[in-house]
Protein backbone atom coordinates (compact mmCIF):
# COMPACT_ATOMS: atom_id res chain seq x y z
CA UNK A 1 0.00 0.00 0.00
CA UNK A 2 1.49 3.34 -1.06
CA UNK A 3 2.19 5.86 1.67
CA UNK A 4 0.09 9.03 1.49
CA UNK A 5 3.14 11.30 1.43
CA UNK A 6 3.98 14.40 -0.57
CA UNK A 7 7.55 15.54 -1.21
CA UNK A 8 6.44 19.18 -0.96
CA UNK A 9 5.08 18.50 2.53
CA UNK A 10 8.29 16.79 3.65
CA UNK A 11 10.37 19.75 2.47
CA UNK A 12 8.00 22.22 4.11
CA UNK A 13 8.27 20.34 7.40
CA UNK A 14 12.07 20.37 7.21
CA UNK A 15 12.11 24.17 6.83
CA UNK A 16 9.46 24.68 9.51
CA UNK A 17 11.35 22.47 11.98
CA UNK A 18 14.61 24.43 11.63
CA UNK A 19 12.86 27.81 11.78
CA UNK A 20 10.90 26.72 14.86
CA UNK A 21 14.06 25.57 16.65
CA UNK A 22 15.93 28.79 15.85
CA UNK A 23 12.97 30.90 16.99
CA UNK A 24 12.68 28.91 20.21
CA UNK A 25 16.38 29.40 20.93
CA UNK A 26 16.09 33.15 20.39
CA UNK A 27 12.99 33.57 22.56
CA UNK A 28 13.82 31.09 25.33
CA UNK A 29 17.51 31.75 26.01
CA UNK A 30 18.29 35.17 27.50
CA UNK A 31 22.06 34.85 27.85
CA UNK A 32 23.75 35.79 24.57
CA UNK A 33 26.39 33.04 24.75
CA UNK A 34 23.81 30.34 25.48
CA UNK A 35 21.59 31.73 22.71
CA UNK A 36 24.51 31.65 20.27
CA UNK A 37 25.46 28.09 21.22
CA UNK A 38 21.85 27.00 20.81
CA UNK A 39 21.58 28.45 17.31
CA UNK A 40 24.88 26.85 16.29
CA UNK A 41 23.63 23.48 17.52
CA UNK A 42 20.48 23.76 15.40
CA UNK A 43 22.53 24.24 12.22
CA UNK A 44 25.09 21.58 13.18
CA UNK A 45 22.29 19.07 13.79
CA UNK A 46 20.70 19.94 10.44
CA UNK A 47 23.93 19.31 8.55
CA UNK A 48 24.77 16.12 10.40
CA UNK A 49 21.29 14.78 9.75
CA UNK A 50 20.96 15.64 6.05
CA UNK A 51 24.46 15.80 4.56
CA UNK A 52 26.01 12.54 3.27
CA UNK A 53 28.02 10.49 5.76
CA UNK A 54 31.33 11.60 4.25
CA UNK A 55 30.72 15.03 5.80
CA UNK A 56 30.64 16.01 9.47
CA UNK A 57 29.67 19.35 10.99
CA UNK A 58 31.01 20.74 14.29
CA UNK A 59 32.10 23.90 16.06
CA UNK A 60 35.89 23.93 15.76
CA UNK A 61 39.22 25.63 15.23
CA UNK A 62 41.19 24.90 12.03
CA UNK A 63 44.97 24.40 12.06
CA UNK A 64 47.60 24.05 9.35
CA UNK A 65 50.96 22.26 9.18
CA UNK A 66 52.76 25.57 9.79
CA UNK A 67 51.25 25.88 13.27
CA UNK A 68 48.76 28.59 12.28
CA UNK A 69 45.24 28.51 13.74
CA UNK A 70 41.96 30.01 12.54
CA UNK A 71 39.55 31.89 14.75
CA UNK A 72 36.93 29.67 16.39
CA UNK A 73 34.41 28.77 13.69
CA UNK A 74 30.74 28.28 14.59
CA UNK A 75 30.17 25.52 12.02
CA UNK A 76 32.88 23.66 10.11
CA UNK A 77 31.87 21.05 7.53
CA UNK A 78 34.78 18.68 7.12
CA UNK A 79 35.72 15.30 5.73
CA UNK A 80 35.49 12.19 7.92
CA UNK A 81 36.10 9.56 5.25
CA UNK A 82 39.66 10.44 4.29
CA UNK A 83 40.82 12.69 7.13
CA UNK A 84 43.51 10.83 9.12
CA UNK A 85 43.18 12.79 12.35
CA UNK A 86 40.98 15.29 14.18
CA UNK A 87 42.30 16.73 17.46
CA UNK A 88 40.21 16.82 20.64
CA UNK A 89 41.89 19.04 23.23
CA UNK A 90 40.41 20.60 26.39
CA UNK A 91 36.89 20.04 25.03
CA UNK A 92 37.81 21.83 21.80
CA UNK A 93 37.81 20.32 18.32
CA UNK A 94 40.77 21.16 16.06
CA UNK A 95 40.60 20.16 12.40
CA UNK A 96 43.47 20.14 9.87
CA UNK A 97 42.96 22.70 7.11
CA UNK A 98 43.12 20.05 4.37
CA UNK A 99 39.97 18.38 5.72
CA UNK A 100 37.70 21.44 5.52
CA UNK A 101 34.93 21.81 2.93
CA UNK A 102 32.99 24.76 4.35
CA UNK A 103 32.89 27.20 7.26
CA UNK A 104 29.97 29.24 8.58
CA UNK A 105 29.41 32.04 11.03
CA UNK A 106 26.08 31.77 12.92
CA UNK A 107 24.18 34.88 14.05
CA UNK A 108 20.65 35.70 15.13
CA UNK A 109 20.23 38.29 12.38
CA UNK A 110 21.63 38.95 8.92
CA UNK A 111 23.02 42.50 8.73
CA UNK A 112 26.15 44.34 7.57
CA UNK A 113 27.96 43.97 10.90
CA UNK A 114 27.44 40.21 10.90
CA UNK A 115 28.37 39.90 7.22
CA UNK A 116 31.68 41.62 8.01
CA UNK A 117 32.22 39.33 11.02
CA UNK A 118 31.55 36.25 8.88
CA UNK A 119 34.05 37.44 6.25
CA UNK A 120 36.72 37.77 8.93
CA UNK A 121 36.11 34.23 10.21
CA UNK A 122 36.08 32.76 6.70
CA UNK A 123 39.32 34.53 5.78
CA UNK A 124 41.03 33.14 8.90
CA UNK A 125 40.48 29.63 7.48
CA UNK A 126 41.22 30.31 3.82
CA UNK A 127 44.54 31.96 4.74
CA UNK A 128 45.84 28.70 6.24
CA UNK A 129 48.36 26.56 4.37
CA UNK A 130 47.12 23.27 2.89
CA UNK A 131 49.18 20.33 1.67
CA UNK A 132 48.32 17.91 -1.16
CA UNK A 133 50.22 14.70 -1.88
CA UNK A 134 50.21 12.39 -4.94
CA UNK A 135 47.57 9.65 -4.59
CA UNK A 136 48.67 6.02 -5.06
CA UNK A 137 46.26 3.70 -6.89
CA UNK A 138 46.34 0.23 -8.44
CA UNK A 139 47.64 1.52 -11.77
CA UNK A 140 50.25 3.91 -10.43
CA UNK A 141 50.05 7.36 -8.86
CA UNK A 142 47.67 10.27 -9.45
CA UNK A 143 49.24 13.74 -9.26
CA UNK A 144 48.39 15.83 -6.17
CA UNK A 145 44.73 16.83 -6.17
CA UNK A 146 44.05 20.52 -6.73
CA UNK A 147 43.01 22.25 -3.52
CA UNK A 148 39.26 22.79 -3.27
CA UNK A 149 37.82 26.24 -2.79
CA UNK A 150 36.62 26.35 0.83
CA UNK A 151 32.97 27.43 0.97
CA UNK A 152 32.30 30.34 3.32
CA UNK A 153 28.94 31.49 4.60
CA UNK A 154 26.64 33.10 7.14
CA UNK A 155 23.60 31.51 8.82
CA UNK A 156 20.87 33.41 10.66
CA UNK A 157 17.25 33.30 11.73
CA UNK A 158 16.16 36.78 10.58
CA UNK A 159 17.08 39.13 7.74
CA UNK A 160 17.36 42.75 8.87
CA UNK A 161 18.18 43.82 5.30
CA UNK A 162 14.77 43.17 3.78
CA UNK A 163 15.52 45.13 0.60
CA UNK A 164 17.33 42.70 -1.71
CA UNK A 165 19.47 45.38 -3.37
CA UNK A 166 20.71 46.57 0.02
CA UNK A 167 21.61 43.04 1.05
CA UNK A 168 23.20 42.43 -2.34
CA UNK A 169 25.36 45.52 -1.92
CA UNK A 170 26.78 44.25 1.37
CA UNK A 171 27.38 40.75 0.01
CA UNK A 172 29.03 41.60 -3.28
CA UNK A 173 32.77 41.25 -3.10
CA UNK A 174 35.79 40.47 -5.25
CA UNK A 175 36.10 36.73 -5.88
CA UNK A 176 39.78 36.98 -5.02
CA UNK A 177 38.96 38.25 -1.53
CA UNK A 178 39.69 35.53 1.06
CA UNK A 179 36.67 36.63 3.08
CA UNK A 180 34.18 36.31 0.23
CA UNK A 181 30.91 34.62 1.22
CA UNK A 182 29.70 31.94 -1.20
CA UNK A 183 26.40 31.14 0.46
CA UNK A 184 24.12 31.88 3.38
CA UNK A 185 20.61 31.81 4.79
CA UNK A 186 18.17 33.84 6.86
CA UNK A 187 15.63 31.17 7.76
CA UNK A 188 12.67 33.55 7.96
CA UNK A 189 13.21 35.22 4.59
CA UNK A 190 15.86 34.24 2.06
CA UNK A 191 19.02 32.45 1.04
CA UNK A 192 21.90 33.76 -1.03
CA UNK A 193 24.70 32.24 -3.07
CA UNK A 194 27.41 33.23 -5.51
CA UNK A 195 26.40 32.21 -9.02
CA UNK A 196 29.63 31.14 -10.75
CA UNK A 197 27.92 30.84 -14.14
CA UNK A 198 26.87 34.50 -14.14
CA UNK A 199 29.70 35.73 -11.88
CA UNK A 200 27.42 37.49 -9.41
CA UNK A 201 25.66 37.12 -6.08
CA UNK A 202 22.05 35.94 -6.10
CA UNK A 203 19.62 36.75 -3.27
CA UNK A 204 16.49 34.60 -3.34
CA UNK A 205 13.43 35.30 -1.20
CA UNK A 206 11.85 31.95 -0.42
CA UNK A 207 9.06 30.58 1.81
CA UNK A 208 11.21 27.53 2.51
CA UNK A 209 14.52 29.36 2.68
CA UNK A 210 16.24 26.78 4.88
CA UNK A 211 15.46 23.87 2.58
CA UNK A 212 16.37 25.85 -0.56
CA UNK A 213 19.66 26.84 1.09
CA UNK A 214 20.40 23.22 2.00
CA UNK A 215 19.89 22.12 -1.61
CA UNK A 216 22.24 24.85 -2.86
CA UNK A 217 24.85 23.89 -0.26
CA UNK A 218 24.65 20.24 -1.32
CA UNK A 219 25.21 21.32 -4.92
CA UNK A 220 28.26 23.37 -3.96
CA UNK A 221 29.68 20.51 -1.89
CA UNK A 222 29.24 18.13 -4.84
CA UNK A 223 31.26 20.49 -7.02
CA UNK A 224 34.08 20.52 -4.45
CA UNK A 225 34.82 16.85 -5.07
CA UNK A 226 37.12 15.26 -2.47
CA UNK A 227 39.62 16.89 -0.12
CA UNK A 228 43.34 16.44 -0.95
CA UNK A 229 45.59 13.76 0.52
CA UNK A 230 47.12 15.37 3.59
CA UNK A 231 50.89 15.34 4.12
CA UNK A 232 51.07 13.68 7.54
CA UNK A 233 54.81 14.33 7.85
CA UNK A 234 54.25 18.07 7.49
CA UNK A 235 52.29 17.91 10.74
CA UNK A 236 54.54 15.26 12.28
CA UNK A 237 57.55 17.60 12.21
CA UNK A 238 56.03 19.37 15.24
CA UNK A 239 56.84 16.25 17.27
CA UNK A 240 60.51 17.27 17.25
What pLDDT digit, counting tens, does each position of 49-87 carry? 989 999 999 999 999 999 999 999 999 999 988 888 888
Across 17-45, b (16+ Cβ under 10 Å) vs e yields ebbebbeebeeeeeeeeebbebbbbbbbe
Q: Active-site positions?
A: 74, 105, 107
Looking at residue 29, what is its pLDDT?
59
Q: Does residue 216 register a pLDDT over 80?
A: yes
Global pTM reads 0.89
Q: CATH assignment of 8-130+143-230?
A: 3.40.91
Looking at residue 12, what is its pLDDT?
78
Mean pLDDT of 123-151: 89
Q: Would you put residue 225 in left (φ > 0), alpha (ψ -120 to 50) or beta?
A: left
- Would you place residue 1 in the very low, low, confident or very high pLDDT band (cuts 50, 70, 90)? very low
What pLDDT digit, counting tens, does each position of 6-52 carry? 777 777 777 777 787 777 766 665 655 556 678 888 899 999 998 99
- Would you place residue 181 in the very low, low, confident or very high pLDDT band (cuts 50, 70, 90)? very high
Comparing CA positions, the residue from 70, 51, 47, 49 lying closest to residue 60 is 70
Alpha-carbon span 64 to 223, nearest angstrom: 23
Amino acid sequence: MAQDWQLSELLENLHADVQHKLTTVRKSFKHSVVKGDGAENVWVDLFNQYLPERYRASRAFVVDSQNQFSEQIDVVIYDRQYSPFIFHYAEQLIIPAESVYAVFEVKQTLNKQHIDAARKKVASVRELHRTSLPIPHAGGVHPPRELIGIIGGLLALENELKISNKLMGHLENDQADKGMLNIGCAADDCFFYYDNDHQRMQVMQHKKATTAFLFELLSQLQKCGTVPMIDIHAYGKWLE
